[in-house]
Protein backbone atom coordinates (compact mmCIF):
# COMPACT_ATOMS: atom_id res chain seq x y z
CA UNK A 1 0.00 0.00 0.00
CA UNK A 2 2.83 2.39 0.87
CA UNK A 3 4.57 1.66 -2.44
CA UNK A 4 1.43 2.44 -4.44
CA UNK A 5 0.86 5.68 -2.54
CA UNK A 6 4.42 6.88 -2.92
CA UNK A 7 4.49 5.89 -6.59
CA UNK A 8 1.27 7.82 -7.16
CA UNK A 9 2.70 10.90 -5.45
CA UNK A 10 5.91 10.59 -7.46
CA UNK A 11 4.00 10.12 -10.70
CA UNK A 12 1.80 13.15 -10.00
CA UNK A 13 4.86 15.21 -9.18
CA UNK A 14 6.63 14.03 -12.33
CA UNK A 15 3.60 14.82 -14.49
CA UNK A 16 3.34 18.29 -13.00
CA UNK A 17 7.02 18.89 -13.69
CA UNK A 18 6.88 17.38 -17.20
CA UNK A 19 4.16 19.81 -18.29
CA UNK A 20 6.85 22.44 -18.49
CA UNK A 21 8.26 20.35 -21.36
CA UNK A 22 11.82 21.22 -20.56
CA UNK A 23 14.36 18.39 -20.74
CA UNK A 24 15.70 19.60 -17.39
CA UNK A 25 12.23 19.34 -15.87
CA UNK A 26 11.76 15.85 -17.27
CA UNK A 27 15.12 14.81 -15.86
CA UNK A 28 14.11 16.14 -12.45
CA UNK A 29 10.69 14.49 -12.75
CA UNK A 30 12.19 11.11 -13.50
CA UNK A 31 14.40 11.34 -10.46
CA UNK A 32 11.45 12.55 -8.37
CA UNK A 33 9.83 9.19 -9.10
CA UNK A 34 13.01 7.47 -7.91
CA UNK A 35 12.87 9.55 -4.71
CA UNK A 36 9.23 8.54 -4.18
CA UNK A 37 10.19 4.91 -4.67
CA UNK A 38 12.97 5.44 -2.11
CA UNK A 39 10.39 6.64 0.42
CA UNK A 40 8.09 3.74 -0.33
CA UNK A 41 10.83 1.15 -0.10
CA UNK A 42 12.03 2.68 3.17
CA UNK A 43 8.57 2.09 4.59
CA UNK A 44 8.24 -1.45 3.27
CA UNK A 45 11.81 -2.78 3.13
CA UNK A 46 14.23 -0.45 4.94
CA UNK A 47 17.28 -2.61 4.30
CA UNK A 48 16.86 -2.27 0.53
CA UNK A 49 15.90 1.38 0.25
CA UNK A 50 19.50 2.40 -0.43
CA UNK A 51 19.05 1.07 -3.97
CA UNK A 52 16.74 4.03 -4.63
CA UNK A 53 18.11 6.57 -2.15
CA UNK A 54 21.72 6.67 -3.35
CA UNK A 55 20.97 7.24 -7.08
CA UNK A 56 18.34 9.85 -6.13
CA UNK A 57 20.83 11.75 -3.98
CA UNK A 58 23.45 11.58 -6.73
CA UNK A 59 20.84 12.89 -9.20
CA UNK A 60 20.04 15.85 -6.94
CA UNK A 61 23.70 16.71 -6.59
CA UNK A 62 24.18 16.26 -10.33
CA UNK A 63 21.37 18.72 -11.10
CA UNK A 64 22.95 21.33 -8.87
CA UNK A 65 26.42 20.73 -10.33
CA UNK A 66 25.16 20.70 -13.93
CA UNK A 67 23.43 24.04 -13.49
CA UNK A 68 26.80 25.63 -12.72
CA UNK A 69 28.98 23.55 -15.05
CA UNK A 70 30.07 24.46 -18.58
CA UNK A 71 27.99 22.98 -21.37
CA UNK A 72 30.61 20.37 -22.26
CA UNK A 73 30.58 18.86 -18.79
CA UNK A 74 26.79 18.79 -18.27
CA UNK A 75 26.15 15.52 -20.05
CA UNK A 76 28.81 13.67 -18.11
CA UNK A 77 27.57 15.12 -14.82
CA UNK A 78 23.96 14.21 -15.62
CA UNK A 79 24.99 10.66 -16.58
CA UNK A 80 26.51 9.98 -13.15
CA UNK A 81 23.20 8.98 -11.49
CA UNK A 82 22.53 6.46 -14.28
CA UNK A 83 26.02 5.04 -13.73
CA UNK A 84 25.41 4.73 -9.99
CA UNK A 85 22.01 3.12 -10.55
CA UNK A 86 23.48 0.68 -13.08
CA UNK A 87 26.31 -0.29 -10.75
CA UNK A 88 23.92 -0.99 -7.90
CA UNK A 89 21.00 -2.58 -9.77
CA UNK A 90 23.02 -4.78 -12.13
CA UNK A 91 24.67 -6.29 -9.08
CA UNK A 92 21.18 -7.03 -7.71
CA UNK A 93 20.24 -8.63 -11.03
CA UNK A 94 23.24 -10.96 -10.81
CA UNK A 95 22.29 -11.95 -7.27
CA UNK A 96 18.69 -12.57 -8.29
CA UNK A 97 19.81 -14.73 -11.19
CA UNK A 98 21.85 -16.89 -8.86
CA UNK A 99 19.16 -17.01 -6.16
CA UNK A 100 16.01 -17.47 -8.21
CA UNK A 101 17.28 -19.14 -11.41
CA UNK A 102 14.40 -19.51 -13.87
CA UNK A 103 11.67 -18.43 -11.45
CA UNK A 104 12.84 -14.83 -11.14
CA UNK A 105 12.74 -13.49 -14.68
CA UNK A 106 10.40 -10.63 -13.82
CA UNK A 107 12.54 -9.50 -10.89
CA UNK A 108 15.71 -9.73 -12.97
CA UNK A 109 14.10 -7.76 -15.81
CA UNK A 110 13.03 -5.06 -13.35
CA UNK A 111 16.52 -4.84 -11.87
CA UNK A 112 17.96 -4.35 -15.36
CA UNK A 113 15.23 -1.99 -16.58
CA UNK A 114 15.46 0.53 -13.74
CA UNK A 115 18.94 1.86 -14.67
CA UNK A 116 17.94 1.92 -18.33
CA UNK A 117 14.93 4.05 -17.46
CA UNK A 118 17.20 6.28 -15.39
CA UNK A 119 19.38 6.94 -18.44
CA UNK A 120 16.50 7.93 -20.75
CA UNK A 121 16.23 11.63 -19.78
CA UNK A 122 19.83 12.17 -20.88
CA UNK A 123 18.80 11.45 -24.47
CA UNK A 124 16.47 14.47 -24.52
CA UNK A 125 19.14 17.04 -23.74
CA UNK A 126 20.03 19.25 -26.68
CA UNK A 127 23.65 19.48 -27.77
CA UNK A 128 25.47 20.47 -30.95
CA UNK A 129 26.31 16.85 -31.67
CA UNK A 130 23.04 15.03 -32.21
CA UNK A 131 23.95 11.60 -30.85
CA UNK A 132 26.27 12.68 -28.06
CA UNK A 133 23.65 12.35 -25.27
CA UNK A 134 22.88 8.79 -26.36
CA UNK A 135 26.56 7.89 -26.40
CA UNK A 136 27.12 9.40 -22.95
CA UNK A 137 24.10 7.56 -21.51
CA UNK A 138 25.18 4.28 -23.09
CA UNK A 139 28.73 4.74 -21.79
CA UNK A 140 27.42 5.36 -18.26
CA UNK A 141 25.34 2.17 -18.37
CA UNK A 142 28.22 0.17 -19.85
CA UNK A 143 30.59 1.41 -17.15
CA UNK A 144 28.01 0.54 -14.49
CA UNK A 145 27.60 -2.93 -15.95
CA UNK A 146 31.36 -3.40 -16.02
CA UNK A 147 31.53 -2.36 -12.36
CA UNK A 148 28.75 -4.73 -11.37
CA UNK A 149 29.74 -7.75 -13.44
CA UNK A 150 33.51 -7.29 -13.38
C-alpha distance across the termini of the chain, in Å? 37
Are 104 and 89 a contacting pair, CB within 8 Å?
no
Per residue in 82-129, pLDDT (tens digit) is 888 888 888 888 788 778 776 777 777 778 778 877 777 776 666 666
Domain count, the chain: 1
Are 96 and 104 a contacting pair, CB within 8 Å?
yes
Per residue in 12-59, pLDDT (tens digit) is 655 565 555 677 777 787 888 888 888 888 888 888 889 999 999 999
Are 123 and 27 a contacting pair, CB within 8 Å?
no
Amino acid sequence: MAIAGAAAIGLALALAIARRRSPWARYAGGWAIWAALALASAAVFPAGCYLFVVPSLVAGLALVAAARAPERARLVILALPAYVAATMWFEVAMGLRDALSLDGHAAIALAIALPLIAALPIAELKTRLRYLPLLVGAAALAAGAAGAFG
